[in-house]
């Protein structure tokens, strides 16, 4: 049985996010908005029976909601009388995570990390966001000590953005504060603004770097600090915004900003474990998108530190796998990769082959092909045209196959052997940037 009730229009001075939270979360009611999208002083609820006197029930619901809205208005007015400096001072007495210091410490780290990120990502954003990003980092957790968030904890971040608007901060900072916790899950919205994306990246990287430094690594289903969600959030933001960012560098910078602490893991070990964890989350993400397991592993094994590039390589590899000649090309270059991998362990190979040591016609043909192909591959790599780079596999494969058929690569003459291996390494290293062909089982 639906019931439409009212509240005093004076309460509309409180932000709609607060009013709706009070109605929906605390009273299990719906807010009502007009055709203009603005809230109206009414709410809708549903009864599980038909009361004898609907007016009595209506007044009862209105009385209970009025008490909640009184609280909300009290906190709203009290918070407007405060300023960010007061809240920032209070953050120094709010613990972040055990040995990782206070929330005040965290916001100072985020200020520096957001500034670093804005400079790194400037080519993609197309604007100088450094000061806005740094300011957003510093103010990011201030609303945690506000009266409103103390009463309505689900509004953290949102209230920070609203207060930033009221207290004269730039629109970019206010929007970033509202978006800093996005995405909150695998299907939740992403930040819409670049400063919001940078702040979210910094916040999540700071948490990951700190927890891994303390060896607080998720095991099985236990993930009390939401580290899997942090990693997935970073992945989704990087893929959506296309930031040209090496996440290992991001995590290393985040760790540095903690300064001297009693870490349980040294920097390199914690970074290695964090990157292994991150790569596993990236693998899960691609798998959840319905990608082929072998292709995902081949793309990831060639490098997982830059998700947008990894995604682009995976897309190019997926398209290539559907073309004629794919299986033959993979088989040939698996052979190249395996030979080079084994011999690189046994002996150091020269970076460039010596034309004077070329004896057989097939190896001379391969050298001639490589002279023309390698500069093209380097140019395609710089341009990010992975599809075109993979397409060259078809044109070079016959020459490589003829080389394997007509030349004894592992001959007894050490100079000839190393020269032939140098050609294979020069070719294999180019394609190894695109995919790990050894991971492709056909």
pLDDT of residue 124: 75
- β-strand 2-6 against 39-46: which pairing, if any? antiparallel
Q: Tell me what pLDDT residue 439 has.
A: 87
* Residue 414 CB contacts under 8 Å (≥ 6 apart), including other chains: none
Q: How far is CA 291 from CA 273, 288, 300, in A?
A: 25, 7, 12
Per-residue confidence (pLDDT) for residue 345, from 0 to 100? 65
Tell me the HSE value of 378 on the side-chain side, using a 13 A CA sphere. 8
Q: In what order do the strands lie in the sheet with 39-46?
A: 2-6, 39-46, 30-33
Closest Cα partner for 390 from 442, 437, 335?
A: 437
Name the phi and psi angles at 93, rounded to 5: -110, 10
- Contact between 422 and 350 under an 8 Å Cβ cutoff? The reply is yes
Q: How far is CA 239 from CA 175, 193, 232, in A?
A: 21, 14, 11
pTM of the model: 0.91
Q: Quote the pLDDT of residue 339.
A: 86
Res 195: pLDDT: 97
Per-residue pLDDT, 246: 96
pLDDT at position 318 is 95
For residues 27 and 81, the answer to whether their CB atoms sit within 8 Å is no
Helix (H) / strand (E) element for 331: namely helix 326-346
d(CA 44, CA 200): 35
- Judge contact between 194 and 171, C-beta under 8 A: no
Tokens of 253: 């910078």
Supply φ then ψ for residue 3, to 5 degrees.
-135, 125
Residue 234 · residue 186 · CB < 8 Å: no
Query: ω before 418 within 30° of 0 (cis)?
Result: no
Low-confidence ranges of the chain (pLDDT < 70): 345-346, 442
CB atoms within 10 A of CB 268: 9
pLDDT in tens, 302-326: 999 999 999 999 999 999 999 988 9
């Amino acid at each position: 049985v639906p019931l439409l009730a009212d509240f005093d229009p004076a309460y509309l001075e409180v932000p709609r996010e607060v009013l709706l939270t009070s109605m929906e979360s605390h009273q299990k009611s719906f807010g009502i908005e007009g055709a203009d999208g603005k809230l109206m002083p009414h709410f809708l609820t549903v009864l599980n029976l038909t009361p004898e006197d609907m007016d009595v029930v209506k007044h009862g619901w209105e009385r209970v909601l009025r008490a909640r809205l009184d609280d909300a208005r009290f906190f709203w007015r009290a918070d407007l009388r405060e300023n960010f400096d007061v809240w920032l001072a209070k953050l120094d007495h709010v613990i972040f995570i055990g040995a990782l210091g206070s929330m005040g410490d965290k916001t100072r780290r985020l200020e520096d990390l957001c500034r670093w990120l804005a400079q790194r990502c400037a080519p993609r954003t197309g604007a100088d966001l450094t000061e806005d990003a740094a300011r957003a980092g510093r103010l990011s957790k201030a609303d945690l000590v506000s009266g409103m968030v103390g009463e309505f904890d689900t509004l953290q971040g949102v209230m920070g953005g609203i207060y930033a608007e009221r207290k004269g901060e730039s629109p970019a900072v206010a929007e970033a504060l509202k978006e800093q916790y996005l995405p909150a899950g695998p299907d939740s919205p992403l930040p819409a603004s670049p400063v919001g994306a940078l702040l979210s990246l910094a916040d999540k990287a700071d948490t990951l770097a700190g927890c891994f430094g303390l060896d607080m690594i998720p095991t099985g289903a236990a993930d009390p600090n939401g580290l899997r969600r942090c990693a997935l959030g970073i992945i989704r933001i990087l893929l959506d915004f296309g930031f040209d960012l090496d996440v290992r560098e991001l995590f290393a910078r985040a760790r540095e900003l903690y300064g001297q602490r009693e870490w349980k893991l040294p920097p390199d070990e914690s970074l290695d474990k964090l990157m292994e964890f991150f790569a596993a989350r990236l693998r899960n993400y691609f798998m959840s998108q319905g990608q082929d397991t072998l292709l995902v592993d081949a793309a990831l094994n060639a490098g997982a530190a830059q998700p947008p590039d990894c995604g682009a390589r995976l897309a190019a590899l997926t398209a290539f796998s559907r073309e004629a000649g794919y299986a033959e090309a993979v088989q040939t270059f698996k052979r190249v990769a395996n030979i080079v991998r084994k011999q690189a362990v046994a002996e150091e190979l020269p970076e460039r082959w010596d034309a004077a040591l070329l004896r057989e016609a097939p190896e001379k043909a391969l050298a001639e092909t490589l002279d023309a192909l390698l500069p093209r591959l380097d140019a395609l790599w710089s341009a990010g045209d992975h599809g075109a780079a993979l397409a060259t596999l078809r044109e070079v494969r016959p020459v490589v196959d003829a080389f394997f058929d007509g030349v004894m690569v592992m001959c007894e003459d050490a100079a000839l052997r190393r020269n032939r291996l140098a050609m294979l390494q020069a070719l294999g290293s180019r394609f190894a940037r695109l995919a790990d062909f050894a991971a492709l089982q056909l």
